[in-house]
Amino acid sequence: MDFGFKRSPSSAVNLDTVDHARYDRLVQLEPDALTCIGCGSCSATCTAAPWSGMSVRKVILGLQRGRDDEVDRMLSRCMLCGKCTMVCPRGINTRHLILTLCRLDRKGEVVR
């Protein structure tokens, strides 16, 4: 029966059930990613950001919160210029992080 409205899913992220297999694999291959503090230096300096919304900070957080579609979209817009790596205050090799992520599938398996 069509009531004219549907049940909306909750927007809360349930950390008990969120799938972070890709993130777990990433930090195995790039352990410094664990030290990201979300400061946004990378996003602030990103060449592509003003036009594409790319942000390494959002990629790292998005992987932990199940925002996989958004993460993939952002990764595809990276120009690999390396400016984010230059400015990261925690010394994360963000360019390597991005390239590593591009080699993993959604389940965290290395496919490329």
Partner 1 sequence: MIYQGKQKIWADYQKEIPDDHWFYVRSCIRQNFFPASEKYFLAICRDQLGRDIYESEHHTTCAGIAYHCDTIPQETAMTVVARQFALMTEAGYENLVTSCITSFGNYTEILETWRQFPELEEKVREHLWKACRREFKKPKYVAHASDLMYKLRGEIAERAHFQLVHRATGEPLRIVEHIGCHYSKMFPHKGVGGAEYPCVLSGMAESWGGRVIDYPERRHCCGFGFRQYFVKANRGYSLSNTHKKFESMEPYRPDVIITNCPGCPYFLDRWQYVISEMEGKTYGQNGYGIPVLTYEELAGLVLGVDPWDLGLQVHQVAVEPLLDKIGIPYDPARKYLGMDEKKIMTPGLPTSLKCF
Partner 2 sequence: MVNRNPVIAVIGAGIAGLEAARQLADLGYSPVLIEKEPAVGGHVAQWNRLFPDMTPAAEVIDALKKQTAKIRTLLGTEIASINRLKDGFSLVLTDGTSLLCQAVLFATGFQLFNAAKKEEYGYGIYDRVITNRDLEAWFNTRKDKRIKQPEAVGFVHCVGSRDLKAGNTQCSKVCCITAIKQAIEIKEEFPDAEVYCFYMDLRLFGKKYEDFYIKAQRDYGIHFIRGRVSEVGEAIDGRVVVKAEDTLNGKPVKVTLDLLVLMAGVVCNPDAQHYARQVGVSVDDDGFLKSRDNIAAITESSRPGVFFAGACTGAKTIPETLAEARSAALNIHHYFNKRK
Say whether residue 34 binds partner 2 (CB under 8 A).
yes
The CA-based dihedral angle spanning residues 20, 21, 27, 30, taken in that order and rounded to the nearest 10 degrees:
-130
Question: In the set 3, 16, 51, 111, which binds partner 1 (CB under 8 A)?
Answer: 3
Number of residues in contact with partner 2, rule: CB under 8 A? 21
Say whether residue 35 binds partner 2 (CB under 8 A).
yes
What would you measure as the largest C-alpha separation in the chain, in angstroms? 58
Determine the angle formed by the axes of helices 21-29 and 56-64, rounding to 10 degrees.
130
Question: In the set 27, 56, 78, 84, which binds partner 2 (CB under 8 A)?
Answer: 27
Rounded (5°) CA angle 47-110-106: 70
Q: How far is the CB of 13 from partner 1 (least distance, A)?
A: 15
Say whether residue 32 binds partner 2 (CB under 8 A).
yes
Are residues 41 and 63 in contact, defined by beta-carbon separation less than 8 angstroms?
no
The residues binding partner 1 (CB under 8 A) are: 1, 3-10
The residues binding partner 2 (CB under 8 A) are: 11-16, 27, 31-32, 34-38, 57, 61-62, 64-65, 67, 90
